[in-house]
Structure 1
Amino acid sequence: MGGRQAWGIDDVLTERWVVREKGSDTGQTLATAMRLYLSRWRIGMEHQQIEAILEMVAVSSLIGCFSRVAAQPLISRRRLVEIKVPELELQRRFYVMTHKAKYFTAGIRAFLDICEGV
């Protein structure tokens, strides 16, 4: 399997994974998504650095989970391919917070508009 395509949960559960360390946001998001499959989830390696995980996936048969933003340079160079697993909910929410009396400049408003569109 390769290319940008959908995989089923059974497909990814037959693969060995390299994952972020416990406590990281990415690791927690993936662990939550995989909670129903823990007994079948094959973790081959755990690492703290996203760059190391990206490189391990690029040079081995391991698969991993990371943000598209982090993976984009390797996807663009065709060293990685994105797979979609419809059974896994891998979305996370980010919140922008500021002091309640903060004055919003035009630049801040434009930034917040971009954030809402992502």
Structure 2
Amino acid sequence: MEKSLLGCDDVGPLRVGSTVTIGSQFLPCYVDTYQNLRPQTRVQVCISPGETLEQLRGQPFLLREKGSATRETFDAAAPAAGFSVEPAWEASSTAALVNAAVHGLGIAVLPRRMLWGPLERGIVASFRVPELDLHRRYWIVYHKDKFLTAAAQHFITLCKNYELDYPAPHYNGLY
């Protein structure tokens, strides 16, 4: 039977399944290299839509520095989900954490909006872990007795609706 299959691998696509961690950390480089070596073979990749908390245990984490809002959100969410992490990296630079993730050094925990460029270029992948609530709340604060001009009210409305009206930021700090 094997002899009858010789050469058949060039006929159809190569289908590869992966977890998000492998799919975001290693598989892009593997597939890119493979396609350069075998351009006649079409590669189809299917990456599972979500990681579970169990799958993340023991993985190296790349985190923002203590005191950053992103880190505080993660540090509060992890224990609430029964999960603890000793970071492999701590950095105040989002770019440093993205580059470390690109090189397969761990899983970076960063706001999605800071990753638009790398996500669009396909050099990183993002995923949600249902057990971790990483949503942050933002506040607009002004003095209770402050008269709000029409311009100030318009600006506040713009800020509140920005994510809905302008979902892809023009500048995200990473290029």
**Percent identity, aligned pairs only?**
21
| Structure-to-structure mapping, 1:1-118, within 5 angstroms | 1=19, 2=23, 3=47, 5-35=49-79, 36-38=82-84, 41-99=85-143, 100-105=146-151, 107-108=154-155, 110-115=157-162, 117=164
Identify unmatched segments of 5+ residues in structure 1.
none
Q: TM-score, normalised by structure 2?
A: 0.59
After superposition, the CA RMSD in angstroms is: 2.2
The structure-2 alpha-carbon separation of the partners of 1:84 and 1:113, relative to structure 1 and needing over 3 Å to count, comes to closer
Q: Measure the CA separation in 1 of the matches of 2:104 and 2:69.
A: 24
The structure-2 alpha-carbon separation of the partners of 1:72 and 1:116, relative to structure 1 and needing over 3 Å to count, comes to closer
- C-alpha displacement at 1:79, in angstroms? 0.5
Q: TM-score, normalised by structure 1?
A: 0.85
CA contact (8 A) 1:29 1:92 kept: yes
- C-alpha displacement at 1:93, in angstroms? 0.2
Q: Measure the CA separation in 1 of the matches of 2:93 and 2:163.
A: 28
More relative contact order in 1 or in 2 (CA 8 Å, sep 6+)? 1
Q: Per-residue CA shift, 1:52-76, capped at 9, x if unaligned?
A: 1111111224001111110111000
Identify unmatched segments of 5+ residues in structure 2.
1-18, 24-46, 168-175
Structure number with greater Rg is 2
Q: How many residues align?
A: 116
- C-alpha displacement at 1:116, in angstroms? 7.6
